[in-house]
A and B are shown apart, each in its own frame.
Chain A
């Protein structure tokens, strides 16, 4: 079984708003000292894939990213978690890009270089743009059925897969035949494993395959972005918090009750 997991390198989502600033002309955040990390849900997608490989008792997990050389770090992280193979599409020549460009590039890499495959996994949304677009667009581009918000996947009868997914009211189990695209979301069952030190070391010695857009038939003007960020700004925080006070705990609880009733929403 061949599992392809799409991963993205993002500015650390845990970075404090106090340290966050944007370059309004470039319409990009100023990275400063904040680390670049693997996008949260992509790491979960990787964990879901690794668990499926274990449940099947074999197979290949390929980590795929679109990004500059610095993005090799997220691929090394994936290999440290025991992904078998790492592929990076270099974005040189693809311009500013957007979710459409990303999905199209990933689709071409999967179709031309990573086939045959059984499952493509993506995080449900990126930890920087929060768009949630690449998974559904990739499913469309590859003509695959899609199961959103997957928590866990197990082999089913006759080559099918059973996908446990989160719904608005709880969970459900969906049966689907590969090839399929899944987007992953977090649960107790898929908290990403922490790699062993020896695997982290070994990951640095493993090869990363790099593909140019021209190898994927994507060079030149063929793939213009369909959207553009026209402005990016940090919103002003205007709210002032009134701290409830009082000499005793009882008084403070009493003041809180009064303050809650004053809101006139109860």
Chain B
């Protein structure tokens, strides 16, 4: 009987959003009165050990460490097998996993394998029916919010990354019995069925959209790839990342991993600057976590202005060059300085 935050760390790296996942686990545990535990699974090494301590500092009463050389690659088959094995040992009532691309696949598969219910895209929790958690999640492209209840003894929940606030960190060192290693029989992991032949990492400045504090995003109104070069300059001045709407991706102006929206990435920056984006509801669904939304669009009736707090109804071609220059002055940064 516990709420178990599941953190998968292939290559031993700390995945983003683990602290916020602990926030989700604490929130659920307050509702159910259960203890908070964490399971960290990944390649053995000092970084996995450090992550286990960090999970304790962020509120896990106990951290289970599942380290195996077989978990170095983000192979979903192996992670599902490892997590199913761990779930059988630890018997949590709720397993929380971040809904990043790997986690979004692991959650429903794990639920299927262990006979649990699966709920995805969760952004909040409240008391539900039958004295159990009611999982709050957007549906219909964010046009509606649903409360979903589990009808199984065990539930696997995919939490939308960064939807919950990270709990304050406690200081000190975990007591000896708070960090426990699980010994996974190597034979429990299946042989790999996928082989990666080639990885093409798109040129980027290293800021992942999900982690970016500032995002400058363009849509159909950018008119072509050239428009995105101007956005790139604006992003450099602001120290942010460039995103795009689905229309710009479908047109081939930018690669798909820059797509923001219900059908792309869900982002939660401090500032989301939407340029030439009309604001289809599926796009707005992806930016509901943004603290501030500012929009530039030549159509004053564009739906994006209903989601924005500051708007400028103007063609970006007239505005952006002087905006970039003025912001560079105000912030003391030269446009394009990072490239030099």
Contacts and interface: CB of A to CB of B under 8 A. Distances in A.
Interface of A: 11, 13-17, 20, 22, 27, 29, 40-41, 99-100, 103, 125, 127-133, 135-137, 139-141, 145-149, 151, 162, 166-177, 185-188, 191, 224-235, 237, 239-244, 249-250, 252-254, 256-257, 259-261, 263, 265-266
Contact of A13 (B121, B152, B282): B282
A9 to B, nearest CB: 14
A185 B117 contact: no
12 contacts: A100-B117, A167-B199, A170-B257, A174-B194, A185-B256, A226-B111, A227-B119, A230-B149, A232-B145, A239-B309, A243-B312, A266-B238
Interface in B235-269: 238, 246, 249-252, 255-257, 259, 262-263
B326 interface: yes
B148 A241 contact: no
Contacts of A13: 140-141, 262, 281-282
B118 A169 contact: no
A32 to B, nearest CB: 13
A168 B100 contact: yes
B140 A137 contact: no
Contacts of B197: 162, 172-175
Interface string B118-158: 11110000001100001000111101111111111000000
A240 B128 CA distance: 31
A22 to B, nearest CB: 6
Contact of A230 (B134, B139, B195, B326): B134
Contacts of B169: none
Closest CB pairs A-B (n = 7): A188-B252, A145-B193, A140-B112, A226-B117, A170-B202, A136-B108, A231-B147
A176 B194 contact: yes
Q: Which of B107, B195, B318 has the most CB of A within 10 A?
A: B195
B330 A131 contact: no
B281 A230 contact: no
A249 B200 contact: no
Given A145-B194, A169-B202, A239-B306, A20 B143 contact: yes
B257 A188 contact: no
Nearest to B292: A263
Contacts of B331: 266
Contact of A233 (B144, B252, B296): B144
A261 B255 CA distance: 30
A62 to B, nearest CB: 23
